[in-house]
Copies of this chain bind each other. A is one copy, B any other.
Amino acid sequence: MATEVEEILKRIQSHKGVIGVVVLNNDGVAIKSTLDAATTTQYAGLITQLADRARSMTREMDPNNDLTFLRVRSKKHEIFIAPGMIFFATLFAKYFVISNEDPK
């Protein structure tokens, strides 16, 4: 498992335009990160809150549905959030070609 996470991190981080990768456990605690400690803690908290809200929204709309992927685009970058066993967030540079990077 640890090796698997390391490999995913390495693969994502190697892509052009990737600012950082954070891997969270089910409690929203960062277990791996390429960002500094303060940023990691702040982002982990904010992203977990948003992903929880997106998941509850999806289930409220349809109890048989579930969240699979969340993307937050801003003026400066894009955050990709994939909840599940390995929950990770990647921050891509603006204008990054999204379709090549979608882990689904």
A: residues with CB less than 8 A from B are: 42-43, 46-47, 49-50, 53-54, 57-58, 60-62, 64-77, 98-99, 104
Contact A75 B70 (CB under 8 A): no
Closest 4 CB pairs of A and B: A69-B73, A71-B71, A46-B57, A58-B74
How many monomers of this chain does the complex have?
Answer: 2
A66 to chain B: closest CB distance in Å? 5
Bound: A8/B43 CA distance, A: 34
A50 engages B54 (CB within 8 Å) = yes
Assembly CA distance A72 to B73 (angstroms): 12
> Contact: A42 with B70, CB < 8 Å?
no
A74's partner among B47, B53, B67, B77 (CB-CB below 8 A) is: B67
